[in-house]
């Protein structure tokens, strides 16, 4: 019992001490009717009586006493204002910190299951004798009112999501419909990515800016393709650990060496069956369903390409002003250097290409998700060479490659659905 009293707001604010409350509880547990009004407030974890009234009148100026406030909560709970509901839920405390609100539940969690139930029931039984007339019902009604608010909010959010979905299916890029129809976005979708640790270590602030600017740019891309927030929320770029022993500098011809090592590690990871999302794996670990975090790529992550960010790719975003300037490396995990193959040497393809950043969630993704058997990464590389800005992949459609609107600096080529561009 002392553990619960220690979590009282009165105790955390040094208005009381747990030992004193425990002594009063033990004295009056079998005779609660004999307790004083002041001690009632203390054992119920209320502010003192003058503070209770002051807090009530502060949020309900037309109510002059506590009894009228409780009467309203009991007889007309649907007329309670949000501040009135909040005050009842906080047991007349005008403001509570997040820690104060969680303290009691946290204290309960420290007890064993059987002891927790016994202790809580014992305290509640005692407190039920201390409430004023209608007070317990007023608290119950406030809790019910809050639950109705949460339910109304959930229904409104569901309605908004449904309207968003219908709009996406009708007006968004056609592949979004296909993505939704396959599994209603129950699985994540996206890419695996390696980030060069040298770039992070060299200038952490610049690297943080890269992440923020990239996120903002991708948000505009989702809006442009007509995606719903549900589909956007399931897009994931899975950051992979940098393989041990892999160089981090790409100067002096080491760029191919880096990609070779990244390919090895990616191919190792994709040799495992797809694993669950990290939150689900953590739950399994805590529940004892698994003994360790498995290796591999998360379910929904593309396995026929991976992304790589180095200083040059990051600079395209940080130093660029238009979305058409932003690009990222896309690496072919199946490419093997073959100097004896003359056709390979003459083509110039080296197993990687630049991809327009925002096309990661449109033309490039479509090509790798649904058309990889028809269109290879080398085919995408060849088309990328036609891009007049930075040789990055935009589209297989020549018209889309050159259809740049310089007035729209936040959105790159070939993102808006065709109807929207007409």
Single pTM value for the model: 0.73
The pLDDT assigned to 346 comes to 52
The pLDDT assigned to 293 comes to 85
CA pair distance 262, 23, nearest whole angstrom: 66
Q: How confident is the model at residue 422 (pLDDT cuts 50, 70, 90)?
A: very low
Task: Give pLDDT tens digits for 73-117.
Answer: 999 999 999 999 999 999 999 888 988 888 888 888 888 887 888
Over 60: is that where the pLDDT of 345 sits? no
Over 80: is that where the pLDDT of 358 sits? yes
Q: Minimum mean pLDDT among 115-124, 138-147, 388-397: which range?
A: 115-124
Decide: helix, strand or coil at residue 173: coil
Over 50: is that where the pLDDT of 420 sits? no
Q: How confident is the model at residue 252 (pLDDT cuts 50, 70, 90)?
A: low
Handedness of CA 82, 84, 86, 88 (dihedral sign): negative
% of the chain residues with pLDDT over 90: 71
Task: Give pLDDT tens digits for 231-250.
Answer: 999 999 999 999 998 888 76
The pLDDT assigned to 53 comes to 93
The pLDDT assigned to 389 comes to 84
- Count, residues in the chain: 422
The pLDDT assigned to 247 comes to 86
Better-predicted residue by pLDDT, 137 or 292: 137
Over 50: is that where the pLDDT of 343 sits? no
Over 90: is that where the pLDDT of 202 sits? no
Q: Where does residue 346 rank: exposed (0-12), middle (13-18), buried (19+ CB within 10 A)?
A: exposed
Task: Give pLDDT tens digits for 373-419.
Answer: 999 999 999 999 999 889 999 999 998 998 877 778 899 888 988 55
Q: How confident is the model at residue 253 (pLDDT cuts 50, 70, 90)?
A: low
Residues in Cβ contact with 132 at an 8 Å cutoff, skipping those fewer than 6 apart: 66, 67, 70
Q: How confident is the model at residue 181 (pLDDT cuts 50, 70, 90)?
A: very high
Q: Mean pLDDT over residues 323-349, rounded? A: 79
The pLDDT assigned to 384 comes to 96
Task: Give pLDDT tens digits for 30-49.
Answer: 999 899 999 999 999 999 99
Q: Mean pLDDT over residues 260-276, rounded? A: 95
Sheet arrangement for strand 352-356: 235-240, 189-195, 306-309, 327-331, 352-356, 392-393
Over 90: is that where the pLDDT of 227 sits? yes
- Tokens, residue 276: 């669950």
Over 90: is that where the pLDDT of 284 sits? no
Q: How far is CA 209 from CA 52, 206, 215, in A?
A: 48, 5, 10
The pLDDT assigned to 341 comes to 46
Over 60: is that where the pLDDT of 15 sits? yes
- Tokens, residue 161: 């999501």
DSSP letter (8 states) at residue 275: B
Q: How far is CA 195 from the centre of its chain?
A: 21
Q: How confident is the model at residue 172 (pLDDT cuts 50, 70, 90)?
A: very high
The pLDDT assigned to 248 comes to 84
Do 115 and 2 form a contact (C-beta atoms < 8 A)?
Answer: no
Q: How far is CA 57 from the centre of its chain?
A: 39
Mean pLDDT of the chain: 90
Q: Mean pLDDT over residues 24-30, rounded? A: 92
Better-predicted residue by pLDDT, 407 or 219: 219
């Amino acid at each position: 019992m002392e553990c619960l009293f220690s979590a009282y707001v009165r105790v955390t604010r040094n208005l009381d001490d747990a030992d004193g409350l425990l002594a009063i509880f033990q004295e009056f547990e079998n005779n609660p009717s004999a307790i004083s009004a002041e001690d009632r407030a203390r054992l119920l974890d209320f502010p003192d009586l003058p503070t209770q009234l002051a807090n009530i009148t502060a949020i309900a100026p037309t109510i002059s006493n506590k009894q009228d406030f409780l009467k309203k909560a009991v007889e007309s709970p649907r007329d309670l204002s949000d501040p009135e509901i909040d005050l009842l839920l906080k047991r007349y405390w005008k403001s509570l910190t997040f820690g104060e609100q969680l303290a009691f539940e946290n204290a309960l969690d420290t007890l064993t299951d059987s002891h927790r139930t016994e202790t809580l029931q014992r305290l509640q039984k005692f407190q039920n004798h201390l409430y004023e007339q209608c007070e317990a019902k007023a608290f119950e009604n406030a809790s019910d009112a809050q639950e109705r608010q949460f339910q109304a909010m959930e229904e409104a959010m569901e309605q908004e999501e449904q309207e968003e979905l219908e709009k996406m299916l009708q007006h968004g890029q056609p592949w979004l419909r296909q993505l939704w129809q396959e599994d209603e976005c129950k699985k994540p979708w996206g890419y695996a990515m390696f980030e060069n640790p040298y770039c992070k270590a060299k200038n952490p602030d610049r690297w943080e800016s890269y992440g923020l600017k990239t996120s903002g740019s991708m948000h505009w891309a989702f809006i442009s393709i007509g995606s719903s927030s549900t589909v956007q929320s399931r897009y994931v770029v899975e950051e992979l650990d940098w393989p041990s022993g892999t160089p981090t500098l790409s100067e002096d011809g080491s760029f191919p060496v880096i990609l070779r090592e990244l390919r090895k590690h990616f191919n190792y990871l994709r040799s495992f069956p797809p694993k669950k999302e990290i939150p689900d794996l953590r739950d399994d670990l805590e529940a004892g369903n698994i003994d360790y975090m498995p290796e591999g790529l998360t379910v929904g992550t593309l396995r026929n390409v991976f992304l790589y960010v180095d200083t040059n790719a990051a600079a395209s975003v940080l130093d660029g002003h238009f979305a058409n300037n932003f690009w990222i490396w896309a690496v072919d995990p199946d490419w093997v250097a073959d100097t004896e193959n003359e056709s390979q040497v003459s083509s110039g393809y080296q197993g990687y290409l630049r991809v327009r950043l925002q096309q990661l969630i449109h033309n490039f993704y479509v090509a790798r998700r649904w058309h990889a058997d028809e269109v290879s990464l080398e085919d995408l590389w060849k088309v990328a060479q036609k891009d007049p800005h930075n040789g990055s992949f935009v589209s297989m459609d020549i018209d889309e490659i050159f259809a740049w609107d310089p007035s729209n600096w936040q959105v790159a080529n070939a993102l808006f659905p065709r109807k929207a561009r007409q």
